[in-house]
Amino acid sequence: MLKIAARLHQCNNYIDIMAIWIPTLDDRKGPKYLQIVDAMAEDIRIGKLTAGTRLLPHRELAYQLGISANTTSRAYAEGVKRALLRAEVGRGTYVRSPDTAAPGGELNTLLRSGAESGPVDLSRNLPFPGFAEVYIQDVFASLGSMTGVSALLDYQTKDDLARHLEAGKIWLESCGLQAETGSVLSTMGGQHGLLCSLMALLRPGDLLLTEALTYMPVCALADALGAKTGSVEMDEEGVLPEAFEEACRTSKPKAFYLTPTLQSPTTVTLSDMRRQAIADIAEKYNVFLIEDDVFGPLKTDSPAPLAMKAPDRTFYISSLSKSVAPGLRVGFLSAPHRLMPALRQAVNLSVWMTPPLNLEIATRLILEGTARELSHQQSMLAARRQRLARSVLGEIPYKADPHGFHLWLPLGDEIKADVFRSQCSQMGVLVSEARHFTAHHGKAREAIRICLSHEIEEARVRQGLEKINYLFHETGKRIILDL
């Protein structure tokens, strides 16, 4: 009897102190052990997993998840490395208290700040939300009394409507590009412009070059079209012309996709000299250029677009998403005249046409000068957030443009980007690590991108930056040294 009671008592104790924590991994990507650690960090952050909780032995968790014990053991080791867990010999693995990760409780206070309103999202490179609303409501009102609405309700199978194209031309001019009307067409935003450019240019087996750190959907699109991708090295000032030339010489690319202005993630704007060099090399080796200028409207002092230097071989992609409203889904694309039929076909095949009603709204905003004004406001707000970032991050050597939406923070060799991102996430701040922008399976750098524009409240952005500042100076380095 006694034996049974003792067992029951033990059993109750066991149930009391050991949480049956089984992570939900459904939507997570990447190696399994990191999925487990990320889920753990998230659950600690939202309070689902509390300090002092003892986790299941790794073999048991492995059994519950249907994976190998090696994987769960690696996950627990990584959790210890990230200061989420402490392992006690012969006793088990426990969730670590934030206080023990930061003597003095400073981390604990920071951790708690803002937790009630969800994570501060500094991971998305989007415009300041809600700005266009009042202007678009005015346009809606004026559309109500418009005559000739039926023209907007038909299929536009050949060209866009003339007045929409005229607006496109004006928009492109405001981005520094002089284009003939016959070389302009509308798209459903920059991403669609990119898809159509690739459809018009690439055949299976062709090689598309990108910058070493790039907008990754371009690689997925090329892949879907059966093309290969390769990357061109960059330095502090952006893509290296000599690396582009070397790639042209050795691997005969069909096209080179790049973002010369306010590049994401590096924030760099390519100098006029480098633009000229890229245009000359493209000419010499007969390579097309795909110039993504979706951020261009935010920066009025950037050098002339590549499309002005190599008009016969450049696809120039612009969009109203980053400066007016992404939900409009309107962009304009300019390309060499001879390639326009292929581009129109790509638009037809992918979406038939850019929705004329959306185009009408964009056209009105452009013709009234509102679109330009909205870009200006976005750019001014970005400048204000950049000043805020400087005041919080002080001397931390990050890269930024005074009118850009984001920062690029190289972490040096001592701090690993995945660990740093995970620590940020644990403290309730979402950022993106370099791996998410690393083209062609290149070696990821240790750096993170911090976006300042998506969160509406400045106070939350400040809070997020303060946490990043803390981690950069204290926790990041200390935990790495603990390894």
Tokens of 342: 């292929």
What is the CA 372 to chain-centroid distance, rounded? 24
The CA distance from 407 to 58, in Å, is: 39
Write down the least CB distance from residue 22 to ligand PLP, Å: 35
DSSP notation for 102-140: SGGGHHHHHHHTTGGG--EE-----PPTTTTHHHHHHHH
Q: Determine, following the binding rule CB under 6 A, whether residue 210 of this chain makes contact with ligand PLP.
A: no
Residue with Cβ nearer ligand PLP (327 or 402): 327
Q: Which amino acid, one-letter code, is at 332?
A: F
Q: Alpha-carbon distance 441 to 268, whole Å? A: 22
CB closer to ligand PLP out of 191 and 425: 191
User: Given the rule CB under 6 A, which of 131-139, 185-193, 449-457, 468-476 is the region that contacts ligand PLP?
Assistant: 185-193
- Provide the pairing of β-strand 288-292 with 255-258: parallel
Nearer to ligand PLP by Cβ, of 215 and 470: the residue is 215
Tell me which stretch binds ligand PLP (CB under 6 A): 78-86, 183-191, 386-394, 463-471: 183-191
Report how many residues bind ligand PLP under the rule CB under 6 A: 13
Binding to ligand PLP (CB under 6 A) within 374-413 occurs at none
191 vs 463, which CB is nearer to ligand PLP?
191
35, 123, 156, 191: which one binds ligand PLP (CB under 6 A): 191
Q: Report the nearest approach of ligand PLP to the CB of residue 348 (Å).
A: 18
Q: Are the C-beta atoms of residues 267 and 400 closer than 8 Å to each other?
A: yes
Binding mask 71-110 for ligand PLP (x = CB under 6 A): ----------------------------------------
> The sheet that has 184-187: what strands, in order across it?
184-187, 331-334, 314-319, 288-292, 255-258, 207-211, 228-232
Contact predicate 41/82, CB 8 Å: yes
Quote the CA–CA distance of 72 and 78 in Å, as a whole number. Answer: 10
Q: For residue 81, what is the enclosing H or E element?
A: helix 69-81
Q: Please state whether the peptide bond connecting residue 397 to the residue before it is cis, i.e. omega within 30 degrees of 0.
A: no
Candidates 40-48, 149-157, 166-174, 186-194; binding stretch for ligand PLP (CB under 6 A): 186-194
- DSSP 3-state of 229: strand
Rounded Cα gap, residues 191 and 94, in angstroms: 45
- 125 in contact with ligand PLP (CB under 6 A): yes
The answer to whether 426 touches 388, Cβ cutoff 8 Å, is no
First to last CA, the chain: 48
Of positions 168, 176, 238, 326, contacts ligand PLP by CB under 6 A = 326
Contact 320, 362 (CB under 8 A): yes
CB of 64 to ligand PLP, least distance (A): 38
Nearest-CA neighbor of 278 among 297, 316, 305, 251?
Answer: 305
Residue 255 · residue 221 · CB < 8 Å: no
Name residues contacting ligand PLP, limited to 221-260 (CB under 6 A). Answer: 259
Stretch that binds ligand PLP, among 13-21, 161-169, 319-327, 424-432 (CB under 6 A): 319-327
Could you say which of 35, 321, 426, 432 contacts ligand PLP (CB under 6 A)? Answer: 321
Q: Which stretch binds ligand PLP (CB under 6 A): 188-196, 237-245, 357-365, 447-455?
A: 188-196
Contacts with 306 (C-beta within 8 Å, 6 or more apart), sequence order: 258, 260, 275, 278, 279, 289, 291, 314, 316
Q: Looking at 95-103, 189-197, 340-348, 454-462, which segment touches ligand PLP (CB under 6 A)?
A: 189-197
* Smallest gap from residue 32 Cβ to ligand PLP (A): 29
190 binds ligand PLP per the rule CB under 6 A: yes
Is 265 or 356 the residue whose CB approaches ligand PLP more closely? 265
Tell me which of 174, 264, 269, 425 binds ligand PLP, using CB under 6 A.
264
Binding residue for ligand PLP, selected from 71, 123, 269, 319, defined by CB under 6 A? 319
Nearest Cα neighbor of 125 from 378, 301, 333 is 378
Q: How far is the CB of 380 from ligand PLP (least distance, A)?
A: 20
Which residues of this chain interact with ligand PLP, rule CB under 6 A?
125, 189-191, 215, 259, 264, 292, 294, 319, 321, 326, 331
